[in-house]
Chain A
Amino acid sequence: MKKYIIIMAAIIFLLPAVFVFSSKYMRDGKNSGSKTSPESQAAINSTASGSEKKSCCTAQGKDEFSGKSVFLDESNWKDQNGDVIQLGKFKNKYVVMAMFFASCQSACPMIVNDMKEIEASISPEKLAEYKFVLVTIDPERDTPGVLLKYAKDKNLDQQRWTLLTGGKNDIMELAMLLGFKFSKEANGGFTHTNLITFLNKKGEIVYQNVGLSVDTNAISRLLASLN
């Protein structure tokens, strides 16, 4: 009889854990495919979302950046080589950044050309302090492989140029951080604003060029001030 009591007692102690685990497993599995429990996730990084994926806005532990830094974005991005990076990787560099999509025929090639001209206008000894970053708004088509081909086709120096793709929500959050507007069209393309953003070494926005005509005077003044 004692044996039965011990078994029953063990079941009583174990069942709650099983139920808690299974109910959370089911809920998370349904929501995001993640097996991480929201509570344990909360304990780790204070996001109680059902997803274990980091989003841009979990800014804890990033106290090294000011409240205005785009580097507070903690999303995981994939570069043209398939390596996973966060924007904080660019700290201590000036960043010239734009959002684009590789199959864009009209505006994006002009933006990339403008960025190349900006690159060409920086003195060789200062160039090592700069990074040029293109972030796609078309993650379904712009895989790392497509981005790598784009970088080669456009003769982008991959020492300095990073092309990024990421999750749709991460792309939306970055667009919101930069004030970039875009909308998917029925034909699969995008309507979007043309925006080149300059970040200082702390990731703070110091200048944005809106539209396709680049204000070369303003940018050379800016570059001079950064140097």
Chain B
Amino acid sequence: MNSLRIKYLALLLIVTAGCCFSLPSEKNKSSKMAYIAGGEFTPLYKLNNGGSNVIVKPFYMDVYPVTNNQFLEFVKKNPQWRRSRVKQIFADHFYLKDWQNDTTLGIKVDGNSPVTFVSWFAANAYAKWAGKRLPTVNEWEFAAAAGKNKPYAADDAEFNKKIIEWYAKSNGNKLAEVGSAGSNYWGVYDMLGLVWEWTYDFNSALLTGDSRNDSGTESNTFCGGGSANATDVKNYAAFMRYGFRSSLKANYTIQNLGFRCVKDIR
């Protein structure tokens, strides 16, 4: 009888321990991440770097953009990021515009679609909360330069044509679910073809190496203004992204601008 009781208690103990072990993984609802091997990379504008290529260190990247469901969990746990409470300096008044209310997605958005109408501050806060960070421009561009079967396809006419076709296409009423725009060589989905994405240092879009010349600094990122300094004048898609980034402010929230996170390899 006694030994039975002890066995019962031991079993209870194991079950209890098992529950506790499962807690952190539930909390850590992180989406899947893919390994990006990194390497040498020629940014579209490389004057900031003394004219040399940049080395992108290996990192992990979210396989999918952050979804409405994931962002909902974040705002539930971080009330200061709810639509009714967010401060204007951190997010403009379109923030999470299509959600029904502070903590309900409603019918206008799909929980599995990328969250949009989020500011850089909100994206950055989400990334920190998730134990991750936003990708740098170089990391994002490096990962996005991969084609289906090769790590660098930005010099591939067909690859660029597809991106431009997507940029030219208007959005439907509702964004498609994450994963719908296909994966690339690294196994990340939707880098091109679903939403534009915030980068950590989008405010690094400067061209001249000498800040005494402010006019060049500000004009660089538009096709007309700075194309002569670009490394690959045929990479229209990258021009568009650099131009778009330079037009952003960190509290802007835009219909087709979402984000995904990355993590350092330790």
Residues of A within 8 A of B (CB): 1, 4-5, 8-9, 11-12, 15-16, 19-20, 23-24, 27, 30-31, 38, 42, 46-51, 55-60, 67-70, 72, 106-107, 169, 172-173, 175-177, 179-183, 185-187, 190-194, 210-212
Contacts and interface: CB of A to CB of B under 8 A. Distances in A.
Nearest to B24: A23
Interface string B10-54: 101100110111011001100000000000000000001110100
Interface stretch (B59-67, B109-117, B161-169, B200-208): B200-208
Contacts of B156: none
Given A8-B6, A12-B9, A19 B21 contact: yes
B50 A185 contact: yes
A131 B242 CA distance: 36
Contacts of A12: 9, 12-13, 16
Contacts of A27: 24, 28, 131
B87 A51 contact: no
A15 B10 CA distance: 12
B89 A70 contact: yes
A161 B48 CA distance: 31
30 contacts: A4-B6, A12-B12, A15-B16, A23-B21, A24-B24, A27-B24, A31-B131, A42-B77, A42-B78, A47-B125, A48-B74, A48-B78, A49-B125, A50-B131, A51-B128, A55-B125, A57-B80, A57-B122, A59-B80, A59-B87, A67-B89, A69-B89, A169-B128, A181-B205, A181-B217, A183-B48, A183-B201, A183-B206, A186-B52, A211-B214
Interface string B110-148: 000000000011101100110100000000000000000
A8 B24 CA distance: 25
B217 A59 contact: no
A144 B232 CA distance: 42
Contact of A194 (B50, B120, B200, B211): B211
B182 interface: no
Contacts of A16: 16-17, 19-20
B252 to A, nearest CB: 11
A58 B249 contact: no
A106 B131 contact: no
Contacts, number: 151
Interface of B: 2, 5-6, 9-10, 12-13, 16-17, 19-21, 23-24, 27-28, 48-50, 52, 74, 77-80, 87-90, 120-122, 124-125, 128-129, 131, 200-201, 203-206, 208-212, 214, 217-218, 249-250, 266
Interface of B is mostly: helix
Pairs of residues from A and B, 3 with the lowest C-beta to C-beta distance, nearest first: A176-B250, A19-B20, A183-B204
Contact of B211 (A68, A107, A177): A107
B204 to A, nearest CB: 4
Interface of A is mostly: mixed
B132 to A, nearest CB: 9
B200 to A, nearest CB: 7
